[in-house]
A = this chain, B = another copy of it.
Amino acid sequence: MKKNASPVVAKLGSAPAADVPVTLEMVALRAGVSPATVSRILNGTATVSPVRRQAVDAAIAELGFVPNPVARGLAGGRTFSIGVVTQSIDSPFYGAALRGIEEKLLPLGYSPLFVSGQWRAEVEARCVAVLRSRRVDGIIILTGRLTDKEIKAYAKALPVVVTGRKLSGKGLATLSFDNVEGARMATQHLIDLGHRHIACIAGDSQHPDAVERLRGYRKALEEAGIPYRASLVVEGEFHEQSGLQAVEQLLDSGAKFTAVFASNDQMALGASLGLARRSVRVPEDVSLIGFDDLPVSLYASPPLSTIHQSAYEMGQLAATAMLQLLAGEVPSVEAPAPRLVARESCRRLAP
Q: Is the CB of B19 within 8 A of A157?
A: yes
Q: Is the CB of B89 within 8 A of A95?
A: yes
> How many identical subunits does the complex contain?
2
Q: Is the CB of B12 within 8 A of A126?
A: yes
Q: Is the CB of B111 within 8 A of A17?
A: no
Q: Contacts A88-B99, A89-B102 given: A276-B302 contact, CB under 8 Å?
A: yes
The answer to whether A289 has its CB under 8 Å from any CB of chain B is no
Q: Is the CB of B116 within 8 A of A99?
A: yes
**A71 CA / B10 CA spacing, docked (Å):** 22
Q: A130: which of B12, B88, B153 is its contact (CB, 8 Å)?
A: B12
Query: Interface with B: A26-34, A132-140, A165-173, which one?
Result: A132-140
User: Which residues of chain A from 220 to 249 have a CB within 8 Å of any chain B CB?
Assistant: 240, 244
Contact with B along A264-286 (1 / 0, CB 8 A): 00000110110010000000000
Query: Interface with B: A193-201, A252-260, A292-300, which one?
Result: A292-300
Closest to A240 in B: B299
Query: Interface with B: A44-52, A62-70, A334-342, which one?
Result: A62-70
The answer to whether A1 has its CB under 8 Å from any CB of chain B is no
Q: Is the CB of A273 within 8 A of B299?
A: yes
User: Which residues of chain A from 59 to 115 have a CB within 8 Å of any chain B CB?
Assistant: 66-71, 73-74, 79, 81, 88-92, 95-96, 98-99, 102, 106, 111-115
B residues in contact with A295, CB < 8 Å: 92, 240
The answer to whether A13 has its CB under 8 Å from any CB of chain B is yes
**Nearest Cβ in chain B — how far from A177, in angstroms?**
18
B residues in contact with A157, CB < 8 Å: 17, 19
**Nearest Cβ in chain B — how far from A267, in angstroms?**
10
Q: A95: which of B13, B66, B90, B276 is its contact (CB, 8 Å)?
A: B90
B residues in contact with A92, CB < 8 Å: 90, 92, 95, 295-296
**Nearest Cβ in chain B — how far from A89, in angstroms?**
5
What would be 24 A-B contacts, judged by CB atoms less than 8 Å apart?
A12-B130, A13-B129, A17-B153, A19-B156, A67-B133, A69-B134, A69-B135, A70-B70, A70-B73, A70-B134, A88-B99, A89-B102, A89-B114, A92-B296, A111-B115, A111-B130, A240-B298, A269-B296, A269-B299, A270-B299, A272-B299, A273-B300, A273-B301, A300-B301
Residues of A at the B interface (CB closer than 8 Å) are: 10, 12-13, 17, 19, 66-71, 73-74, 79, 81, 88-92, 95-96, 98-99, 102, 106, 111-116, 125-126, 129-130, 132-135, 153, 156-157, 240, 244, 269-270, 272-273, 276, 295-296, 298-303
Given contacts A17-B157, A70-B74, A113-B113, 11 further A-B contacts (CB under 8 A): A19-B157, A70-B70, A74-B74, A89-B95, A89-B98, A90-B96, A92-B296, A106-B115, A111-B134, A240-B299, A270-B299
